[in-house]
């Protein structure tokens, strides 16, 4: 018996952990990893080797790394003065392929490789596709990456350079997922969806463990996260809960969720019809029907965080502001978090005497150049 299994997030039924299983066989709910209280538990040391983090692999030697994680945290003096709040950024674009996705991909590809999988399908708005392409190459796995034709050319080129087969879809982000699912069914290839894989979230957990170390155990009171599918958001929360269980932290920060006003199924708490989904410069969070929506909403309630939608103009404004005032060129998806932060401060949903941490999920060099 391995030391971990899957648990359905809807009907709570337990399932055998398998990287090819993406949904509950009983109710089609999304799955998450559950660890048994076992002596066989495998841990990775994270946060400068200070912390043991449980991982869903049978041996540490199965973990495939390209050097992801341990990204720097920087204080943002000028933006802090502007918003009269102490603001920090964690530079996730310093991961091997330029986005936070590498944390999740490393774990997901390790699990697939450990089961001898040799060919996979993935769909992405760009960053996850590039990440899966790189890690799959390293693992000797052939990857088919589906991405919208409208994704930035730099991201599409990056997917191709690692050697994966790029399938460009003339449609929305959600139509790209549909095209990938059809391909999986027709060709009987393993679907390595980073949105559904429970292993992916086990990888993004490292962000939560690292900030415990980055802030010398005093994690900021607020973490503001741009949310599309919510894999980073949910990974941070899972890590914080594990740290609390180990009695390393007493209180959990508020986890705020930022979406673009043009695609905001979580912030609006609505099921968006095709005509309600508009285009957004924040391609990384342009997800009309996130499969883990109810999980994100549950964390919002538990952490007492707020969901906020931001206007297109404010996303571009903040992308330029961050570059001009902090020397930080981030992708629009990350800039959206700052636009949301400004809204939350103005609405007094974040107190000015509390600290704020924002992940800079991806580099501006990968995305649309501001005018």
Binding site for Zn ion (CB under 5 A): 8, 10-11, 13, 24, 26-27, 29
The nearest distance, CB 18 to Zn ion, in angstroms, is 15
Say if CB 113 and CB 58 are below 8 A apart. no
The nearest distance, CB 198 to Zn ion, in angstroms, is 13
Region of 134 please: left (phi>0), alpha (psi -120 to 50) or beta.
Answer: alpha
Closer of 24 and 79 to Zn ion (Cβ) = 24
Closer of 27 and 149 to Zn ion (Cβ) = 27
| Residues making up the chain, counted from first to last | 371
The nearest distance, CB 13 to Zn ion, in angstroms, is 5
The nearest distance, CB 34 to Zn ion, in angstroms, is 13
CA distances from 140 to 114, 132, 162, 167 (A): 12, 12, 11, 19
The nearest distance, CB 16 to Zn ion, in angstroms, is 14
The nearest distance, CB 12 to Zn ion, in angstroms, is 7
Closer of 15 and 142 to Zn ion (Cβ) = 15
Closer of 10 and 241 to Zn ion (Cβ) = 10
The nearest distance, CB 10 to Zn ion, in angstroms, is 5
Closer of 27 and 60 to Zn ion (Cβ) = 27
Closer of 8 and 336 to Zn ion (Cβ) = 8
Cα 24 from Cα 40, distance rounded (Å): 25
The nearest distance, CB 122 to Zn ion, in angstroms, is 24
Cα 109 from Cα 364, distance rounded (Å): 26
Closer of 13 and 311 to Zn ion (Cβ) = 13
The nearest distance, CB 9 to Zn ion, in angstroms, is 8
Closer of 26 and 38 to Zn ion (Cβ) = 26
Encode the chain in three state secondary structure. Answer: CCCEEEEECCCCCEECCCCCCCECCCCCCEEEEEECCCCCCCEEEECCCCEEEECCCCCHHHCCCCCCCCCCEEECHHHHHHHCCEEEEECHHHCCCCECHHHHHHHHHHHHHHCCCCEEEEECCCHHHHHHHHHHHHHCCEEEEEEECCCCHHHHHHHHHCCCEEEEECCCHHHHHHHHHHHHHHHCCEECCCCCCHHHHHHHHHHHHHHHHHCCCCCCCEEEEECCCCHHHHHHHHHHHHHHHCCCCCCCCEEEEEEECCECCCCCCCCCCHHHCCCCCCHHHCCCCCCCHHHHHHHHHHHCCCEEEECHHHHHHHHHHHHHHHCCCECHHHHHHHHHHHHHHHCCCCCCCCEEEEECCEEHHHCCCCC
Closer of 26 and 81 to Zn ion (Cβ) = 26
């Amino acid at each position: 018996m391995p030391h971990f299994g899957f648990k359905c997030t809807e009907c709570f039924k337990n399932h055998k952990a398998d990287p090819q299983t993406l949904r509950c066989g009983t109710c089609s709910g999304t799955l998450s990893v559950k660890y048994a209280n076992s002596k066989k538990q495998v841990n990775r040391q994270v946060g400068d080797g200070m912390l043991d983090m449980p991982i869903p692999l049978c041996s540490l030697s199965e973990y495939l790394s390209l050097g992801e994680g341990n990204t720097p945290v920087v204080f943002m003096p000028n933006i802090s003065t502007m918003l009269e709040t102490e603001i920090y950024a964690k530079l996730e674009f310093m991961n091997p392929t330029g986005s936070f996705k590498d944390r999740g991909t490393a774990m997901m590809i390790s699990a697939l490789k450990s089961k001898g999988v040799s060919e996979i399908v993935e769909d992405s708005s760009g960053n996850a596709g590039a990440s899966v392409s790189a890690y799959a190459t390293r693992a000797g796995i052939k990857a088919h990456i589906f991405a919208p034709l409208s994704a930035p050319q730099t991201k599409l080129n990056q997917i191709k350079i690692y050697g994966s087969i790029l399938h460009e879809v003339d449609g929305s982000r959600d139509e790209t997922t549909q095209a990938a699912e059809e391909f999986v069914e027709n060709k009987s290839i393993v679907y390595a969806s980073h949105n559904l894989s429970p292993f992916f979230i086990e990888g993004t957990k490292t962000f939560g463990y690292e900030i415990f170390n980055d802030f010398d155990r005093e994690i900021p009171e607020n973490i503001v996260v741009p949310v599309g599918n919510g894999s980073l958001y949910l990974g941070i929360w899972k890590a914080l809960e594990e740290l609390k269980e180990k009695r390393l932290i007493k209180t959990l920060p508020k986890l705020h969720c930022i979406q673009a006003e043009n695609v905001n199924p979580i912030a609006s708490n609505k099921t968006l019809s095709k005509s309600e989904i508009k285009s957004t410069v924040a391609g990384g969070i342009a997800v009309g029907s996130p499969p883990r929506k109810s999980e994100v909403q549950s964390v919002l309630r538990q952490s007492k965080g707020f969901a906020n939608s931001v206007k297109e103009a404010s996303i571009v404004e903040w992308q330029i502001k961050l570059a001009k005032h902090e020397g930080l060129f981030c992708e629009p998806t990350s800039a959206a978090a700052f636009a949301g932060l400004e809204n939350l401060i103005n609405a007094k949903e974040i107190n000015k005497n509390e600290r704020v941490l924002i992940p800079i999920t991806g580099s501006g060099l990968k995305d649309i150049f501001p005018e």
